[in-house]
Structure 1
Amino acid sequence: HPQPVGHKHPPAPFQIVSLGLFAAAAQDPRYQITQPESLSAPAWGSVTLPCAFTYPDEIELLRDLRVYWRRGFHGQFIYNHTERFTHPDFRGRITLVGDPRGSRTASIRIDRLRESDASEYVCHIRVQKKDYKWEQWRGNPGTKLTVTGAPHCPGFPHVSCFYPQLHTLLCPDKSHLHPQP
């Protein structure tokens, strides 16, 4: 994908995908990724995108295990925990909450959600075996994330969009003034 003008950085090495290795793992049912098909969360909230993966026990004692997340099956990489890469649109907002080597999970949490974060997110795993060969596989389909609009305060229509911390100050909970029957 072409880079926008002004974003000068060399292509990341993990963006080079060996289709032969991907096809081999993709055809082997012992290599699996489990992701929910869809999730929904409010703007300015947080969401955890679950990802659990399996690989054959006989390749345990891996030399390397890498977790990637991308927007869409062939889309941009947004996160790589090994190379400490986070796409600029997500910088400071993505945290790995899974335990790739322990529980074989690669879940991430996205904080301070924006409506522009609505997309399909695909978990992508790459492992280097004892024989130095790599295997990789991805969720298919990924998780479709819907980001719902943030609530707005009457008289302050942009508070939630631009200053969410002010929402509490300007829009206090008045439910106690109108008891429900």
Structure 2
Amino acid sequence: MTETFHEFVVHRSPALSRTAYLLTGDHQLAEDLLQSALARTYRHWSRIRDGDPEAYVRRTMYHQQVSWWRRRRPVERLEPRPTDRTADDHSDASALRLSVAAALRQLTPRQRAVVVLRFYEDLTEAQVAEALGCSVGTVKRHGHDAIRRLRDIAPELLDRTVERSPR
């Protein structure tokens, strides 16, 4: 049992860590969230290892994040938006990642979870609904609200995707 769990952790931790970061917006909280979810997963490994353990970890991370969020409301941190760059260099990609992370932090935890699972993890609406324990309609509603909010708070992200789309 321990060997298969160890193998799972070694192979899937990088992707799960990125998901945890997108859910929390903080590296240390993401590490704590992933460790907590993996500890819970280990306790139930014999039951879930033959199913979809990654979905179980994602669902556990989401529920744990909501639980943490309810216990302590995060302090909002205002961060300056990155300046526009004239030259296309590596800092442009970093600025984009920072803009996306800052925009995601301004969403509600459920909206953030829907956006991360739907668009970053590329899950279907049904898979997101199953992971979050809600209906497909709820996923659609939170996704719609999140996209509308992202358009309001970070219009530069929309401009960047339009610029790069093939014509």
* TM-score normalised by structure 2 residue count: 0.22
Q: Which structure has the larger Rg over C-alpha atoms?
A: 1
TM normalised by structure 1 equals 0.21
Which structure shows the higher strand fraction? 1
